[in-house]
Amino acid sequence: MSRGRHVAVDTDQILESLATLADDGETISEGGVVPKRLATECGYHRATVLRALESLVEESAAEVVWGFTDTGPKKSFLPCEPADGGAE
């Protein structure tokens, strides 16, 4: 048995936390401090959160935005705007 290989991830929770952080003006950057915060808030390992973010991008629920820093290119994740205009 391979323990911890296939963790059931609540992508809705991750997307909600992603949106909350984006509302606070923070972007989720691969390998940065914010994914660690996002992982802590969601209760998952940082690598698990990054894989979940990649799957959310594939599902068009999140998007990747590329930027540049002093150390080179930076990949950030942002939630996509809901197609229904955000009605809850």
Decide if 72 contacts 65 (C-beta within 8 A).
Answer: no
- Residue 84 CA to residue 87 CA, distance in Å, equals 6
Decide if 77 contacts 64 (C-beta within 8 A).
Answer: yes
Percent of the chain scoring above 70 in pLDDT: 77
- Residue 38 CA to residue 44 CA, distance in Å, equals 9
Phi-psi region of 26 (alpha: psi -120 to 50; beta: other; left: phi over 0): beta
- Global pTM reads 0.66
pLDDT at 6: 56
Decide if 24 contacts 17 (C-beta within 8 A).
Answer: no
Q: What confidence tens digit (pLDDT) does each residue in 65-82 have?
A: 887 778 777 778 888 876
Q: 11-79 is classed in which CATH architecture? A: Orthogonal Bundle (1.10)
